[in-house]
Chains A and B, each alone.
Chain A
Amino acid sequence: MAAAEIDVKYVAHLARIALTPDEEKKLAAQLGGILGYIEKLKELDVTNVEPTAHAVPLVNVTRPDEIRPSLPHDDALRNAPKQAGGLFIVPKIVE
């Protein structure tokens, strides 16, 4: 079975990863091979099979809605590439 064509440029855009033209070319070939291999799942009949999102059947795990200590402000900002006035600095979003 032929693998689907993958538009690497478009998918890389969705994933927000800038690629060089060389990387695009290499990835297209490699992903084509991997997708070709993955096609084998289509051999199986999965009608009436429930999907498994998680191997352990835990549902609706909740905790009490109480205020607890959290990461101090300074600690949360310590690894920021750019910060000022207790905030993360980012490029302008709204004109």
Chain B
Amino acid sequence: MLNQLTLSELSARLARREVSAREATQACLNQIARVDGQIHAFLSHDAADALAQADAADKEISSGTASAQKPLLGIPVAVKDVLAVKNQPLNCGSKILGQFISPYDATAIEKLKAAGAIVFGRLNMDEFAMGSSTENSAFGVTRNPWDTTRIPGGSSGGSAAAVSADECIASLGTDTGGSIRQPAALCGCVGLKPTYGRISRYGLVAFASSLDQIGPFTKDVRDSATLLGVLSGVDPRDSTSVPQPVPDYVKSLTGDIKGLKLGLPKEYMIGGLDPEVKAAVDAAVKQYEKLGAEIVEISLPHTDYAVATYYIIATAEASANLARFDGIRYGLRVEANDPTELYSRTRGAGFGPEVKRRIILGTYVLSSGYYDAYYLRAQKVRTLIRNDFLKAFEKVDAIITPTSPTAAFQIGEKSDDPLQMYLSDIFTISCNLAGICGVSIPCGFTQAPKLPIGLQLLGQPFGEETLLKLAHAYEQSTAWHRAKPPLA
């Protein structure tokens, strides 16, 4: 089945003209028709448009365009509902955007299209990327392809589930506190959060501007490297994108990791860590030693403060960013006699409970009299957290941790307890605060039920080459990434 191929496998077969982009796209569409009723990874998709793009790609392939020029030529890539794709709906998993249609492409989307990708579908997510389970979508929950009574993780739950269930070849998501890595771990695929500033955020609807980053979901590490190479680079339309050269990430996947140092943070061995997750990560550490890496115990002393710091900074930024949804220029409007009442009614009707909770918390921590006690203090603790990592990276090339303290939990299990839900992000959140890069790769399964376990590697700022080299070496020495969920 063509939809089951990795990006590099499909690309090779397209180049040899053994298959067409239309056939590959049709295989993805068929898979969506077959399984998405049970998973609900897609909010919508335009099959005719996807096939038209596939036909255009086939024309280019037959006219001799090579994958060296267009590395994604003919590859179906689906997109989280938070990135603008021209003339497609954009809802951010929220009711407040109404019937919004994007008037332009995000830079990441422009780059996908320029590289020849077939950009299709709107993938489900927690409303405005706020959540860890995709239960906060206004359009219904996405289900984990490994066990449809369980959550796929979040906020990019649709992006992870779609790749894991072979409904697309790769997808894009966004990661503000773990929203790529955690669902990748829980659905058993590869999820990369690049360094802050590596990929332009232009056309990404902002949640927390100093933390948000776009990244790929893929079936293996090589595909992640390919997509990162396409998506990276400075963009004049995002002044926080960094003018750092874009290396050939695929080239760095040599398999040779002898002598590289991996840091094992002692603070990550917490009480709530599931024994099966711990055992899988311990085994991965041993595997790394076998591959020639050196394991060094390190300390990230401010780990315990990361979740609290995050929920001040992220909510503060969100309260400002989401002020734009006011019912005036686009989206839902609930009419009233004066503008203030119109704003309040529109936002009261349009936002879901988690978004309201976070905007109100963010407004509170920024409000007069509380700014210093909460927001400024959190920004200072952020410095301490960042310094922990920079200090650790003086001794090690990357850091190795579980991605999530548990495998996928049941739908409804944590949805009434926001704090418990926030604490499930404990291993992923620091990475965004520190602005470094991180990846989650499959490293095993729980016994009964069989659910994927993710291994997280954290790398230095702009250290994606080493990060992916390490991830790739482990992946290629194991078979975890080749396992398919029963539904796929």
A interface residues with partner B (beta carbon < 8 Å): 4, 6, 8, 11-19, 23, 27, 30-31, 33-35, 37-38, 40-42, 44, 46, 49-56, 58, 61, 63, 71, 75-76, 78-82, 88, 90-93
Contact = CB atoms under 8 A, between A and B. Distances in A.
10 contacts: A15-B363, A30-B357, A34-B418, A34-B419, A41-B308, A56-B195, A56-B461, A61-B240, A79-B100, A80-B330
B119 to A, nearest CB: 19
B189 to A, nearest CB: 26
B103 A44 contact: no
B377 interface: yes
Interface size class of B (residues with CB under 8 A): 35 or more
Contacts of A51: 376, 379-380, 382-383
Contact of A14 (B240, B308, B363): B363
Contacts of B345: 18
Interface stretch (B336-344, B403-411, B478-486): B336-344
Nearest to B376: A51
Given A54-B210, A91-B339, A18 B419 contact: no
Contacts of A11: 360, 363-364, 367
Contacts of B242: 56, 58
B103 A17 contact: no
4 nearest A-B residue pairs (beta carbon): A55-B435, A18-B348, A51-B379, A79-B330
A33 B361 CA distance: 12
A12 B380 contact: no
Contact of A58 (B236, B240, B309, B323): B240
Max chain A C-beta neighbours (<10 A), residue from B100, B340, B377: B377
Contacts of B382: 51-52
Given A54-B240, A56-B435, A91-B337, A79 B380 contact: no
B101 A79 contact: yes
Contacts of B196: 54-56
B381 A17 contact: no
A53 B360 contact: no
B331 interface: yes
Interface of B: 98-101, 103-104, 195-197, 210, 236, 239-240, 242, 302, 304-305, 307-309, 311-312, 319, 323, 326-333, 335-340, 342-345, 347-349, 351, 353, 356-357, 359-361, 363-364, 367, 370, 374, 376-384, 386, 418-419, 422, 433-436, 461
A47 to B, nearest CB: 9
B360 A12 contact: yes
A30 B197 contact: no
Contacts of B309: 41
Contacts of B349: 18
A50 B380 contact: yes
Contact of A6 (B312, B328, B364): B364
Contacts of A56: 195-197, 240, 242, 435, 461
Contacts of B195: 56
B327 A81 contact: yes
Contact of B360 (A4, A15, A40): A15
Given A40-B305, A51-B382, A58-B197, A31 B348 contact: no
Contact of A33 (B197, B338, B383, B419): B419
